[in-house]
Structures are given as C-alpha cells and as structure tokens.
Amino acid sequence: MNQENRPETDKNLPRRDGRNESLWQQSAGTDLHTTQQPETDTCDVLVVGAGITGLTAALLMQREGKKCIVCDAFQAGYGTTGGTTAHINTFADTTYAEVEQKFSEEASRQFAEAIARSVGTIHNLVTTYSIDCDFEWKDGYVYAEDEQETKELQDLYESALRAGVETEQVADAPAPLPYQAAVRFPKQAQFHPLKYIRGLQKEFLSLGGRVIENTLIDSVEKDGEYLIAKSGEREIKTKAVVYATHIPPGGINVLHMRNAPYRSYVIAATLKEDVYPEGLIYDSQDPYHYFRTHVIDGQKYLISGGHDHKTGHGDPEQSFADLIAYTSKCYPVDQVTTQWSSQYYVPSDGLPYIGHLPGTSDGIYAATGYNGNGMILGTVAAMVMSDLVVKGSSPYEKLFNPARVKPMGAFTEFIKENADVAGRFIADRFGIEEMESVKEIPADSGKLVEFQGQKLAVYRDKTGTVEALNPVCKHAGCIVNWNNSEKTWDCPCHGARYDQKGNVLTGPAREKLDRVAFPDLEAASAQKS
C-alpha cells in the first residue's frame, strides 16, 4: 500500500518522504506524533530533525540537564530513519582496512571503538527505558562468492581484528547462495526503528524536552550570546543548534561537496517455506545485498535490500525489479508485501562528518555521511554532538571533524566526479525533449520536457490534472529528475527531493520549486492538439 491509499482510520500513521510506505511506517502505531509546545521559545539546545540522530542527541543532552527543543519540518521518523533496514553492526560500509589506508591504524581502532560504544548505547537505552522495539541480538555474516570478493573479505576480517572487533572465519555461514569464504561478527543486533525512536521521544518528553512537528527552521543567526532560529514568524532563542537533518540544510556548504546522495532499495517479503535467515546476512557484491528477518504481529518477513544508485540517476523501478529478482534467486519468495527506498550519503573519505558545521557561528553542529550505517553512525553522531555541547569536547571530535581536509587524493577524485555530475545535469537542461501535448505524459507520472521553449518538470495525475514546475533545484541550480517509484523530483547533485507540487521533502533545499502557471500550459497544449 502506498501513503495515498491509506484508509481514513490510518491517516495518523507516520508518513515519510516518498510515496512508498516502509514496513516500519505501516506497523509503528499512531503515537509517534507528539507535538508539545514549550512554555518558552528559549532553550539551551535546538535540535533540528527528529530521526535517530536528533532524538538520541536530544535525550542524551536533556539527561545532562540541557533544556532541549526538537523541531522537525515534518514529524519523527519522516526521513531516512523511517526507511532504514535497521541493522546494528560492529562493522561499517567503510571497512576498517579502508580507514587504515586512508587515515591510520589508530583511526581504525577509534572508529571501531566509537561504533562499539554506539551499539552499547542503543542497547543501554533500550534496557534502561524498557523500549518495546523488537531489539534482538543477532550474528552477522558476510560472505564472498568469487576470488576478488574473497580477497576483500580477508582484508575486512584482518583489519577488523586489528581494530579490536570480534570476528571469525566460518565454514557454515547461513548464506543463501554457494560461497567461497565467510566471516561471522557476533553480537550484532536489529530493531524496529520507529518503535525505538518513539521510545527515545517518550523519555525525552518525560524529562521536560519538547518536540515541535511541522516546523521548518528557515535560518539561524548569531545574536550576542544566543543563536536565533527562525521558522516563519516564530523565533527560537538558543545557545546551540544541532542539525540532525541527514545533510545540513541551506546554501552551499562544504559538506554538500563532500557527500554524495544515494538511494537504497528494500523489500519485505513472505516466503513459501520457513527458511527465513536467523542472522544478518551480507554478500560482498558492489553494491551489496543484505537480508534479515523481522516478525510483525506474528508474521515473519524477509527484509532484503540493495541495488543502490546515486540519487537522481538510475531507474528506481528497475532497481526494485532487480532486487525482487535477486531475492527470489536467494529465497523462495511467496509475496512481496512492501517495497520502499531510502536515501543515504556517502562521505568522500569514508568517515562520517560530525561536529561544528564549517562556515557557521560557534555553537552550530551537524552530522552527515553515515553511508549505509545510519543506525550506528547516527547514534555515534548523537553521542559526539552531545559531548561537544555538554562537555565541550569528545574523544572522537578530531576523527570525525567536518573541517578535516585529508585525505586529499580521495577528496580530489570525489570532488571531480561530483563536479562532472553537476556539470552534466546543468548541461542536460539543453537536451530535454520537446513536448507536443501534456497527454504524452502517462497518468500519475512525471517527465522533464521542453514546451514552447521553456524547460519544465511536468507531473500528470490520475485524472489528467497537470502540475508544471521549473526543474531548477532551489539549492544550487541542478536539474531535478523524476523518480517514478516514489513519485518525487530528485536532485542528482546533493540529494534534495520534492513532491509533485514542488514542496521540499528532503534537504538541503529549503524552498519549493517554482510553479509554472498551468492555464498557459493547458491553453497552449489544447491549441496544439
């Protein structure tokens, strides 16, 4: 089911940044909405974003006596926390071998330590507050199917050991396909991400914290010893701001250049036989596939993910088709019950960026570049930013410093690749097809077209009503592309996403796409047809 087709009784279920509902969204219950206006709009810390990073940071800081307000442009779990596959691992997409190579062995050990602490923090929060979120410890298995993958897996294994991470080579991995080599990581975990953040939110509120939904922070400016955050007419006076928005919003920041947006695809499926995997399973392909099981209301689901591509590139519908076909090769799929996609940011040098937001006033923090490890690195980010605000320092502030410039080689290559991308998508505005009539656009679909000399992003709904937009992204001027699976306009440069009416769903853009007057378009179209 997609969000538009929900029965009226389910309208209070959490929403997310696209047409497709996640399994979590369908089963989170209705009490994730918790707007409670604060008595005063003055606080110690304003946290922007109510996903796992924001709510964990807010709870940690509130516990330390900081008076926090969380604002979300939509609602808790609306973004990637609502679309994750919720794996909790002691290893990351950036392997310890890569961290050793790009930084140092010491950096790799520190990275492993930060991750281990985040796993411990999640478990501690779940047990301390008895959060009912289906938390379960699991073994994780990574397997390799050919010689090249086996070599990379060996590097992963050896570097994990050097970093102090518990792992072992095994010959009995529960891989769904024949494999050459496999390693086991004990004490990984999984949970229901929206139930988890609902638990965080409940504790945060009980400690006097406040969450304000549907409130977009337009700007933050320094005013004496305070920062003034504006949302329309409203002003929130705060000593610190934590951007937990996945990528910092607003004008071009160096972090937009150091992270590339990707879409990841997920399905939940029932199987014809009870061969649901017990552990968390990962192959070593690029991009890799991953599988796990989750039980909701007594029904087991296989959760399978993969076929990622850069946002605004690739074909989302093809990615879903490929993922379903691949999963069916691995497991006896009976029915695909749910499919959804989600966004993540790949950092240029492999490590997340957490700390003071470059180019802004003191007291403004941000975190991004979690790769596909948002649950653990979002929690790491919350811990680091909480320490920076509360104690003024963190053991990991240097490792994750957003202003770091090393390693130059990787960074230069990354910048060049992304500059090429941006250039191509700006240049592409000159190669858009001429449209004769809006009827060329299939129902409930969108297309980039040229119409009477004007470049347009046109969506035509099921009844034939047309929404025409200027396709120039409000962040930095790239041309958006249509995502026919999520029914969104996605920007290929830094990942901003817009709905059919041009409203912002995902930053860094803050302003909606410009609307092009429809009557003109309709009249011109009628004349031609």
Q: What angle do CA 183, 185, 189 make, to 5 degrees?
A: 140
Q: Which residues of 271-302 are buried (b: 16+ CB within 10 A; e: fewer)?
A: beeeebbebbbbbbeebebbbbbbeeeeeebb
448 near ligand FES (CB under 6 A): no
473 near ligand FES (CB under 6 A): yes
SS3 track for 296-324: ECCEEEEEEEEEEEECCCCCHHHHHHHHH
Stretch that binds ligand FES, among 63-71, 376-384, 486-494, 516-524 (CB under 6 A): 486-494
66 near ligand FES (CB under 6 A): no
303 near ligand FES (CB under 6 A): no
Shortest distance, position 446 Cβ to ligand FES, whole Å = 16
Stretch that binds ligand FES, among 60-68, 113-121, 332-340, 491-499 (CB under 6 A): 491-499
In this structure, the number of other CB atoms found within 10 A of the CB of residue 330 comes to 18
13 in Cβ contact with 25 (< 8 Å): yes
Nearer residue to ligand FES within complex by CB, 122 or 476: 476
Q: Where are the beta strands (DSSP E) in 107-199?
A: 136-144, 168-169, 181-190
Instruction: Give the type of residue at 356.
Output: H
Stretch that binds ligand FES, among 98-106, 458-466, 487-495, 511-519 (CB under 6 A): 487-495
Which residues ranging from 269 to 288 are in contact with ligand FES (CB under 6 A)? none
Residue 247: closest CA among 164, 369, 152, 365? 369
Among 249, 306, 374, 508, binds ligand FES (CB under 6 A): 508
Stretch that binds ligand FES, among 27-35, 83-91, 199-207, 494-502 (CB under 6 A): 494-502
Nearer residue to ligand FES within complex by CB, 181 or 505: 505
496 near ligand FES (CB under 6 A): yes
Contacts with ligand FES: how many residues (CB under 6 A)? 12
Per-residue contact track with ligand FES, 117 to 136, x per CB under 6 A?
--------------------
Among 69, 351, 509, 521, binds ligand FES (CB under 6 A): 509
Among 491, 513, 516, 521, binds ligand FES (CB under 6 A): 491
247 near ligand FES (CB under 6 A): no
497 near ligand FES (CB under 6 A): no
Shortest distance, position 502 Cβ to ligand FES, whole Å = 13
The CA–CA distances, whole Å, from 466 to 263, 439, 483, 503 equal 27, 10, 17, 15
Note every long-range contact of 447-454, with CB atoms under 8 Å and residues 24 or more positions apart, other chains counting. 447/482, 448/479, 448/480, 448/481, 448/482, 451/521, 451/524, 451/525, 452/524, 454/516
294 near ligand FES (CB under 6 A): no
Length of the chain: 529
What is the rounded distance in angstroms from the CA atom of residue 441 to the CA atom of residue 61? 50
User: Around 306, how many Cα atoms within 13 Å sit in the side-chain half-sphere?
Assistant: 21
Among 58, 241, 381, 478, binds ligand FES (CB under 6 A): 478
Residues that bind ligand FES (CB under 6 A): 473, 475-478, 491, 493-496, 508-509
